[in-house]
Amino acid sequence: MSKKVVYGKSSEASYTRNTRIKSAIIVIVLLLLTVICLLPLYILIINSTRNVTQITTEGVSLIPGSSLIRNIKELLNNDLYAMVYDPLIGLRNSLFLAGSSTFLIVFFSAMTAYGLVVYDFKAKGIAFTFILAVMMVPVQVTSTGFLQFMIQLDLEDTYWPLIIPGIASPAIVFFMRQSLKSTFPLEIVEAARIDGCGEFKTFIKIAIPMMKPAIAVQAIFAFISKWNDYYTTSMILISGKLQQKTLPMMVSAVMSNDKTADYGVNYTAIMLSIIPVCAVYLALSKFIIAGVALGGVKE
């Protein structure tokens, strides 16, 4: 009797086995990267529950301590900390600066991206090239001229230089343009014009809702960037008044205070300052995957 030969089964089994091995390796690598990214944050939280003796003598620990309440009370009630740290004032100032800047950045960046995608004009390519060129210029390169210009306008030690210039955000304009080009059908704009809808109303009523994923992602990035912007705020707010300081500026003052070298309290101040950022991230995180996927689609 002749034996029946079955072709392809061994190769198919080998392919399945190789695929599983590759998937397992990818999962392991991703888990390691996740641990590497989250470990510093975890150690920060753990150290905020320990006292200065435990931190200096025992070193790094993964086990929580019992000094969190004591550290918070020390941070809020100690007169030496009260001179440079007021969480309510810092939270108010940081939320105002980060919130208003984020709204203006996202709105005007979306409007600019919409104009670059929907309208055809002669300088369109030049404008987009200029935006790409500005993206490559570090903020530190223009900081001296920016500060001198603000002094000439008598705007130093105010919040305006920290809010208004942020409207021009080339990186966010670029991201939103790429997202619009891959997801926004221009036929909708033509249909809106036929129905008598104005240009600005079309942008507000039609484009903005369709850009929600991209807007949410960039709002997270803009908010975190503005919240953590110690460089520009310390350069503009030169008087050092406690009523003007943002929360990161206060945390920096706590960390640099030689009279209060309590590392447990310092870690607690840092932990409290990142809670609002985490809250905003969690509130908008559901849009991140969708937004990145939309922005990464090739034209």
pLDDT tens track of the chain, all 299 residues?
445 555 555 667 776 888 888 899 999 999 999 999 999 999 999 999 998 888 888 888 888 888 889 988 888 888 888 888 888 999 999 999 999 999 999 999 999 999 898 888 888 888 888 888 888 888 788 888 888 988 899 988 899 999 988 788 888 999 899 888 888 888 888 888 888 888 889 898 888 888 888 888 889 889 998 998 888 898 898 887 888 899 999 988 888 876 667 888 889 999 988 888 888 888 877 776 655 555 444 44
79-295 in CATH: which number? 1.10.3720.10
Per-domain boundaries in the chain:
9-47, 79-295
Cα–Cα distance, 127 to 118 (Å, whole number): 14
Using alpha carbons only, how large is the chain's radius of gyration in Å?
Answer: 26
Q: Helix or strand or coil: residue 197? A: coil
List the beta strands (DSSP E) in the chain: none
Q: Which two tokens stand for residue 222?
A: 């803009």
Task: State the Cα–Cα distance between residues 252 and 90, nearest whole angstrom.
Answer: 12
The secondary structure of 219-250 as a DSSP string is: HHHHHHHHHT-HHHHHHH--S--TTT--HHHH
The set of long-range contacts for 251-258, using a CB threshold of 8 Å and a minimum separation of 24, is: 251/85, 253/84, 253/85, 254/75, 254/81, 254/84, 254/85, 257/80, 257/81, 257/84
Which residue from 182, 214, 200, 181 is spatially nearest to 110, judged by alpha carbons? 214
Distance in angstroms (rounded) separating the CA atoms of residues 277 and 220: 9
